[in-house]
Every structure is written in structure tokens, then in C-alpha cells.
Chains A and B, each alone.
Chain A
């Protein structure tokens, strides 16, 4: 099975890197040469650099590369904190060189290793969740295989050829969910029980979720896992467990989040920064009305409530539509059609992510960031497994599934080429 996943992964990556290599060398945005000059890169005009490596430095990759090659390790400007210092430091540490291209190559290698590792973890995670009993073992195995295939062909594939921080979040999230699932047992009719002997695993899941949140702010939604568990345990009056499991884990995650998005930037920029600093809620504590991440998103990228809802952004909404539809359907599927209480937290997380992206963010980023939630992949995989699925005459849900897969077939190479040519959408 691992061999099959590995083969699919390697072939898909080779195809995308081949597309990048064959893409025209002249990019729409001509600033890569300026970036490389600023970073004092050598051999910029080398054949492989011109035909391949330079094309991986589009859009946010510039910020990540800067973070990975910083001499003193500190961001100079506040908006640079939006580009995972954790991920940049990790690659910087592993690369351990001042050479820009060496760092880039190590970054791409680590990106692929993380993406591949995430696929493997997702395979086992799917089996754990969908193989509740021996009867379902075979089903779980097949579902896991299809889910992993779909994950390898994620709608973020093009961006994941470079040095983006998403694969780190995928890996941390999937490991976190796996640890969470391993630390609980299911109860009849629809509940969970936290097992004392597996308490360390439960707490460890919070550390992984916390790291995922430090890496990418959208992973803060994973905290919903602990809210759901906490509410259930409180309702069942198992207060000690509620305190030592979800409350403690949730608090651990919250502390990581508060440190990254409030305390750290407050110490770096306040009070001389003004603006964000002046919105402090309590004297002596670095808590402001808005997180620092939210502030810089609003200040530099014009993110905010309905700010993206303009006529010129209609194409971006259309680009985001397939993922919106499939993710929305997956929440309906696992609550109304085939309810599964084990994936209930992921249903809430998916719903929260959809609302957040639709109302507050640049909607097209859903194609890049959504794969840290596997719910829609399970929905697609489950539909594909059903006997009723007929590739020739699709009806109902299966039409959506088929449409989405065919959209991916066009979107992934297109996104890869657009990225390599430094063309929108980002």
C-alpha cells in the first residue's frame, strides 16, 4: 500500500515539476530577479536556475525564502510575521547555509517530504476513523487509499511544488487528529470517552495543533475538537475528565495561539507601533481587540468582513467555487445523509472555515489552505466507493464528485503553470 502511495506521489510530483521546467522562462511579474539580487544569490543565470528554480519563487515564496535566508533570524517588517517564522526557521536550520539556491533546494525537499508524510499519516488516520469494526476493515482500507490519492492531487498542488508552509500544517494537523482519535474511545449511542491511560496522547494532540496554528493561523479552528469534547463531557457530568482532557489541551493550544498572535508581536512592536497596540483590552496584558495576524491581514492585504465582495473579484469566487461546493456538501453528507459522530468536530471546523473564508479572506485561497481538513476528501472517497457510483451516468451527489475530479484534472496543471509564470490567482 505504501508503495502505491509513494508511486502515485512521485509520479504526480514529476509531472508538475516537468510542467514548471517547460513553462516559459519570462514571468509576468518580473521581480524575481530583483528578489534574488537583494538576497545576494549567486549564479542566477545558471541553466537550471533560469529554467527551474527561479520559477518556484513566485508570490508568497519570496517571503518564505527571505525568512529562510535571514542572517539574524528576525523579521524586519511587521507584515513578514504572516509568513510562518516557524517554517522558515525550520528550513533555515536544516539548510544551514548562506547560499540562496541551496536553501531553496532544501526547502523544496522538506516541502515534498512533509507532503508525502502527510499522505501516509492521512492514510492511517482514515483507517482509524472508518474501520470501527472488523466488518468495516476492508471498507476503511479502500477508503483510505482513495482519500490518500485525492490528497496527493489536492487543489493546492501547484503551490506545494515550492516552499509554502501548508505541508507543515497538513502533517501537524493529521498527526494531531490521529493522536486525538487514538486517545479516545467511542461510547454508545453517539459519544466519546477519554481514556486515562491515553491522556499523554490527548495532550500531545494539542501540542501538534498548537504548532500547526503557529505555522498557519487558520489551524486555530482545530481547537473546535476540544470545545466539542469539553461540551460532551460536561453534559455527561464527567467533570474531572473534562478538566484534564479537553480543557487542559484546549488551554495549551490557546496559550500557543496567544503567544504567537498577541504576546510575541506586542513585545516586538509596542507601544511605539501605535495603531494595533492602542487597541489593548487590559492594562499590563498584551491582548488587543484583534489578533496581530488579523491586523496585518487587514492592513496590508485588505482582508476583512465582506471587503473581498466586489464585482472585480467575481472570477476569484468562481475559482473558489468547486472547493466551496464540495466542502459544504461534505458537511451535509456527514451530518444528514450518513451521520458520523466521529467526524463531528471536523464538520464544525469545515463550516467555520467556509464562513471565515467566504466573509473575511481572499476567497481563492480556499484552494490552497483547505486540505488540512480531510472531511471533503472522505466525502469524495466515500461516494467514489459506493456501488451506485456510475461514471457514465452520474446523478445527484455523484455529479458533484465527478465534476470536482475533472475540475482538479484541469486546475492542478493550470495552477502549477500560473504559479511558475508568476500569474494570478495567488
Chain B
């Protein structure tokens, strides 16, 4: 199961200096030297209303797809997905950073009968993927593969009489 949304880092978002200290937020997805990254986040059912993850090393003026995937074996719903900026030197969830920070949030709720017990740990894959030309970069391989297949079928269907083949 997948839910996703897009975020665009503002042009004026302050770039973090190399020597700046991290805000010590425990759950982080870093895109340092990469255009996509994924972590497995363990949500506990009923423990928190919202889950937060800090995104680091995003590029200014770039668009990213945030993708939240979980196994259909865990009957949950993901809602209240959003992203926001925490300004520098501002406390958030008990952590403070010298620089501005970008966070994503989402809610994990039980969606089953019988309901899962409170405290059940549900692993969730959270990915952040850079978008180029409006397409997340991890889809490029699939798109190229599909294009090759479609072109091949188009070529073959010109050469082969499909209806005739089926008739024979």
C-alpha cells in the first residue's frame, strides 16, 4: 500500500553550513550525495497522534516525492500527510537546531476489525525521491522499460498480422 505527496523546497530555504550541528531529531532521512533515500520507520499503533521525520540535505528549489509504503498485512491507514519548516533555533519535539529544518508528518491509524492491539509495531517504508521533469527519478527505469516494450510491440504488430495469427 502506498500514499504519497510532493513537496517543493523554497528557493530561499537557508542551506545548512557543513559545520552546523544537527538538531538531534532521532528520525531522519538524509539525501546527502543522493537523489533518493528510504528508511523503515516503526510506528506504534495508538502511541502518537502524528509521526514526524526530518528531511536533511534537500536541494533548494527542487521538488521531492514523499512516498509512504506499508505492507497490506498491517491493516492501517495513513492520513494527515503534510510537510512543514521549523525555523532555526526553534524547539520542536524537544529538539532545537541552529538551522531551519524540514519535517514531514503523517498519522497512522488502525483500520481493521478486530483492531490491532495498542502498541503493535507497524514497519513503514518512507522514501524521499527527487523529481526531475516532474517525474520521481526512481521511476525512470520503469518508464524506459515500458517505452521499450511499447515500441517493440508497435514494431511487431506492424510486421505481424495479429488477427491472422489468432485465426490460424
Tell whether A405 is near chain B: CB-to-CB under 8 Å: yes
Decide if A414 touches B146 in the complex (CB within 8 Å). yes
8 A Cβ contacts from B72-103 to A:
72-75
Tell whether A384 is near chain B: CB-to-CB under 8 Å: yes
Q: Smallest Cβ distance from A326 to chain B, in angstroms?
A: 14
Contact flag A401-B163 (CB < 8 Å), given A19-B149, A30-B125, A79-B75: yes
Contact flag A31-B1 (CB < 8 Å), given A149-B166, A385-B167: yes
**Contact among B67, B153, B164 for A30, CB-based, below 8 A:** B67
A269 to B113, CA, bound (A): 9
Instruction: Fill in one digit per residue for A124-149: 1 if any B CB lies within 8 Å of its CB, else 0.
Output: 00000000000000000000001001
**Interface residues in A, total, Cβ within 8 A:** 45
Tell whether B141 is near chain A: CB-to-CB under 8 Å: yes
B contact residues around A414 at 8 Å (CB): 146, 149-150
8 A Cβ contacts from B5-57 to A:
38, 40
**Contact among A35, A39, A402, A413 for B149, CB-based, below 8 A:** A413
Instruction: Fill in one digit per residue for A388-414: 1 if any B CB lies within 8 Å of its CB, else 0.
Output: 010100000000011001100110011
B150 — nearest CB in chain A belongs to which residue?
Answer: A410
**Contact among B70, B145, B149, B166 for A150, CB-based, below 8 A:** B166
Decide if A417 touches B73 in the complex (CB within 8 Å). no
Tell whether A23 is near chain B: CB-to-CB under 8 Å: yes
A contact residues around B134 at 8 Å (CB): none
Tell whether A196 is near chain B: CB-to-CB under 8 Å: no
A33 to B146, CA, bound (A): 23
A contact residues around B149 at 8 Å (CB): 19, 413-414, 417
The 4 closest A-B pairs by CB, nearest first: A24-B141, A34-B71, A35-B71, A31-B69
Question: What are 29 A-B interface contacts by the 8 Å CB criterion?
Answer: A19-B149, A23-B145, A24-B145, A29-B1, A29-B69, A31-B1, A31-B72, A33-B125, A34-B40, A34-B69, A34-B71, A34-B125, A35-B71, A38-B74, A76-B114, A77-B113, A79-B113, A153-B166, A269-B113, A300-B111, A384-B166, A384-B167, A391-B161, A391-B163, A406-B162, A410-B153, A414-B149, A417-B149, A418-B146
